[in-house]
Structure 1
Amino acid sequence: MTSNRTTDAATPPVHDHITDAVKAPALVRLAPNVVLMRFETLKVYAADGAVRHLLGAGVIRPGQTLVDSSSGIYALALAMACHRHGLRCRIVASTTVDDTIRAQLEVLGVTVDQMPPSDDLRLDQNRRVARVRELLARDPDLHWMRQYHDDVHHLGYAEAADLLRGALPGEQLTVVGSVGTGASTGGLTRSLREHDPRTLLVGVQPFGSVTFGSERFTDPDAIIAGIGSAIHFDNVHHDLYDRVHWLDFRHAMAATIGLLREHAVFAGLSTGAAHLVARWEAARHPDRTHVVIGADTGHRYTQRVFARHREALDPADLAPVEIASLDELTPPWAAIDWARRPRGPLVPTQERRKDPVP
């Protein structure tokens, strides 16, 4: 069965399942060297690609129940993949999963275990993992997808990389996106580098995330947006990243509202943050095309972000502080040449200057 039945490149394809339609990104050039890769829901690539691989490898079978923890868009993506491939789905949902997503999950037949309200993301994530382990102990036939830790979630982004290369042939690319679970930025960049090793990757983090060592700061609004994490994710491969930027919530909010105001793009908080970073990087590297990963639409940020548009900062007035080491990290916006280093402890400034990392 083929998913695209068309004989004319100008004719929209007819898809066999909605997952093929919603995963296809729209490419929008926001500036001469900035292109937005806008998704309705990015994680369909991760979930559908993972499920296809696991079915093909015989790790899972039709009719089996897949379970995972999610703060929102992965839950919906996995539910859609299960619907497509004849699988059952169970989601241990973060306290941040809203009524709109929960209703869609329930209509799709997903069993939803939602965590109680909490302002502590670490507590929320730990509760979710504990609940998944409890379910697995009760029913060993469940398959835990482990979106945070299983590299299988990188595989689906090879298709997105092919689309990008076809649309921007010969252009030297810099991928700019929120790190999150690490699957989208990692999977996309790995695939692009197979064809062009010069492809660069810039990751965006909130303050408060453990992923790149900013856990000593507190910025709960930004971290809940799914850009960072309060626990370690194995799917983040630190040695893929050339640069890392940290932004606080007010900067991410300003950028997200600015993206709508300047380009009429209604997108989520991580997309706005990535666009702000891409604009900064693009101004300094005009010879490269900066690809902004736009993970989702702005609907779930209506009240927390867009309704506050009158208090938003002007993105044109914002700039990062360049740091040489993580001990110099400071809000509200900082940037470092990560230089594809592996994950490790904080490096004191004086030590790094004595023995710089190439």
Structure 2
Amino acid sequence: MHAHIAEAVKKPDLISLEPGLACLRFETMKVYSALGAVRHLLDTGAVRPGDTLIDSSSGIYAQALALACHRYGMKCHIVGSTTVDRSTRVQLEILGATLEQVAPSTDLRLDQEARVRRIAEILAANPSYHWMRQYHDAIHYRGYREVAESICREIPAGPLALVGGVGSGASTGGIVSYLRESGRDVTLVGVQPFGSVTFGSEHVADPDMIIAGIGSAIAFDNVRHKLYDRVHWVNFDCAVSGAVALLRSSGIFAGLSAGAAYLGALWERRRDDSPTYVFIAADTGHRYVDSAYARHEQAPDIDTLKPHEITSLDELRLPWSTADWPAVAP
């Protein structure tokens, strides 16, 4: 029996789609990160029950941190983007977390920088608050050891390929670090939207980009670029096609980052079918119903999609590009 809902909701399901291809499906993945980080802070005395934890979020981490604070008797304050939806806002309110959203901006960089500036103002006025720094503090890697251990238990011995949205870097980076630490032979394939600085696609804009949480307009210290072997840059339309195809073929209703990771995993498997491919579905598809799933009839068949293999970041182009990261890294 679980002591708290956060312990139950964090656990992923490893689902076999076909031989050599599995989906690591979360209800909300960042609960692992938040629980592991808060527990470590308490154990080391960096914070005490009743203290206020603060961070920036576009939605998923906000819910995760609120649940972790509820679990451990902490207060939670979120500086959120305008993408924090009504469902999340209401949950945060009932859980006792406070949320303030920055002014709307059509520029992702300005939105993220505005949130960071606001956190600095709050910390100046409230020096006892603890800034979680989900994008920069390696403490967020800690929670994913348990995920890596479950993959080792459930996936037979042999080479693995992990495919997932990069985002803050803690999830894919944490899982692959612990897998490699255990001795597994693992290839890491990162998925990015266009317009993200994380893997050098800021010069290619995707006007429809709403693939929340897998890219960034500012640098994240938790992204350890040397961990990644391959990168796929996927635009909104391709991610929708992948998500729709995933739901249609497997019944898995997941977010757009899962659709992009599914496309990447299928393509990598065509190139080399020797590893077992595990792709990450970090959240459910509910917040993308109107913006993405409702247009499923217009989504191109994934069999008609093919990435542009590049040898330089200057060659990046919509709607889908891919590369060996060490070969194109600046």
Shorter-chain TM-score category?
over 0.9
1:111-122 alignment, distance < 5 Å: 111-122=98-109
d(CA) in 2 for partners of 1:340 and 1:154? Answer: 26
In the alignment of these two chains, the number of paired residues is 330
Counterpart contact for 1:66–1:145, Cα < 8 Å: yes
Q: Which secondary structure does the structure 2 equivalent of 1:131 belong to?
A: helix
1:226-237 alignment, distance < 5 Å: 226-237=213-224
Deviates further, 14-23 or 110-119: 110-119
Match of 1:305 in 2: 292
Counterpart contact for 1:238–1:340, Cα < 8 Å: no
Q: Provide structure 2 residue ranges, at least 5 long, that are not aligned to the other structure.
A: none
**% of aligned pairs identical?**
58
Deviates further, 160-169 or 192-201: 192-201
Q: 1:264-314, CA deviations, whole angstroms, 9 ceiling, x for partnerless residues?
A: 111000001000100111122211111111100000001000111111011
Aligned AA for 1:114? Q
Aligned AA for 1:242? D
Q: Which secondary structure does the structure 2 equivalent of 1:209 belong to?
A: coil
Counterpart contact for 1:208–1:220, Cα < 8 Å: no
d(CA) in 2 for partners of 1:308 and 1:224? Answer: 15
Q: 1:209-235, CA deviations, whole angstroms, 9 ceiling, x for partnerless residues?
A: 000000011115335522101111001
d(CA) in 1 for partners of 2:85 and 2:132? Answer: 22
Is 2:52 aligned against 1:65?
Answer: yes
Aligned AA for 1:207? F
d(CA) in 2 for partners of 1:277 and 1:39? Answer: 18
Match of 1:355 in 2: none
Match of 1:158 in 2: 145
d(CA) in 2 for partners of 1:247 and 1:73? Answer: 21
d(CA) in 2 for partners of 1:254 and 1:189? Answer: 27
d(CA) in 2 for partners of 1:124 and 1:98? Answer: 16
d(CA) in 2 for partners of 1:302 and 1:316? Answer: 23
Match of 1:37 in 2: 24
| Cα separation, partners in 2 of 1:325 and 1:271, compared to 1, 3 Å | same
Counterpart contact for 1:28–1:37, Cα < 8 Å: yes
d(CA) in 2 for partners of 1:266 and 1:156? Answer: 24
- Would you identify which runs of 4 or more consecutive aligned residues in structure 1 move more than 4 Å? none
Q: Provide structure 1 residue ranges, at least 5 long, that are not aligned to the other structure.
A: 1-13, 346-358
Larger Rg: 1
| Cα separation, partners in 2 of 1:129 and 1:220, compared to 1, 3 Å | farther
1:43-54 alignment, distance < 5 Å: 43-54=30-41
Counterpart contact for 2:25–2:282, Cα < 8 Å: yes
Q: Which secondary structure does the structure 2 equivalent of 1:304 belong to?
A: coil
Q: 1:131-161, CA deviations, whole angstroms, 9 ceiling, x for partnerless residues?
A: 1000000000000000010000011000000
| RMSD (Å), alpha carbons | 1.3
TM-score, normalising length from structure 1? 0.90
Is 2:74 aligned against 1:87?
Answer: yes
- Which residue, out of 135, 160, 170, partners 2:122? 135
Is 2:88 aligned against 1:101?
Answer: yes
d(CA) in 2 for partners of 1:101 and 1:277? Answer: 29
